[in-house]
A and B are shown apart, each in its own frame.
Chain A
Amino acid sequence: AQTVTQSQPEMSVQEAETVTLSCTYDTSESDYYLFWYKQPPSRQMILVIRQEAYKQQNATENRFSVNFQKAAKSFSLKISDSQLGDAAMYFCAGDIIQGAQKLVFGQGTRLTINP
């Protein structure tokens, strides 16, 4: 079954430190996209970063980067220099089902930033 798993329900980090959120997925597809979305208390779903499966290079967006390990089906998010505004639920998602346009989401990781 095509699934996305986030094994860390909660994480916390000190302001200005680095934190890594884990995500694994299961798919039989070779071409797919993976995403991290952020959901702050406002409940808005905000796209943080995306990774194309056929690209070897890990995606980066400012303080956010991913470690994409295709063979291991792992897709972790690293947040550097954590800021108070980074506090949110983070969802890993992928369009990992052939012929389907839906995103499959993980259960989310709640990130707390300690000042």
Chain B
Amino acid sequence: DSGVTQTPKHLITATGQRVTLRCSPRSGDLSVYWYQQSLDQGLQFLIQYYNGEERAKGNILERFSAQQFPDLHSELNLSSLELGDSALYFCASSVGMGGDRATDTQYFGPGTRLTVL
């Protein structure tokens, strides 16, 4: 158990819908990262938040957005869902913001499996 929690474990929804994925980082970690794991794209970085502020952005679609709240949990919002958004979404956390690699080891949550029908 990494200490990172994600809810829900599974989500099944229809095209065009909107969903919210939730992540709680390990105790003491200030950074939260979101990754998408799909069969054809592998693991792709989406976005990072550090202590409530967006820190880095990757291949995140405009239909997707995220935020980190004062209690450091994070939510990833996916809207206007398409079949191709079906994937495993991971949240990871680390102590630091990045830049000091000694504190940047990322620990992953169990993931949320999203199925869009």
List B residues at the A interface (Cβ < 8 Å).
2, 31, 33, 35, 42-43, 45, 48, 55-56, 58, 88, 90, 92, 97-99, 101-102, 104-108, 110-111, 113
Q: How far is the CA of A92 from the CA of B35 in the complex (A)?
A: 15
Q: Which residues of B contact A93 (CB under 8 A)?
A: 43
CA distance A37 to B109 in the complex (A): 13
Binds B, one of A12-20, A28-36, A63-71, A80-88: A28-36
B43 touching A91, Cβ below 8 Å: yes
Q: Does A101 lie within 8 Å of B33, measured CB to CB?
A: yes
Are B105's CB and A35's CB within 8 A?
Answer: yes
9 more CB-based (< 8 A) A-B contacts, given A95-B101, A100-B98, A107-B42: A31-B101, A47-B105, A47-B107, A99-B99, A101-B55, A102-B45, A102-B56, A103-B92, A106-B42
User: A46 near B: Cβ within 8 Å?
Assistant: yes
- How far, in Å, is B57 (CB) from chain A's closest CB? 9
Q: How far is the CB of A7 from chain B (nearest CB, A)?
A: 14
Please measure, in the bound complex, the distance between the C-alpha atom of A32 and the C-alpha atom of B100, giving whole angstroms. Answer: 10
User: Residues on A close to B: CB < 8 A?
Assistant: 31-33, 35, 37, 42-47, 50, 52, 91, 93, 95, 99-108
Residues of A within 8 A of B108 (CB): 37, 44-47
Interface of A, helix, strand, loop or mixed by DSSP: loop
A33-B107 Cα distance, complex, nearest whole Å: 14
Give CA–CA (A107, B26) in the complex, Å. Answer: 26
Cα-based distance from A100 to B99 in the complex (angstroms): 8
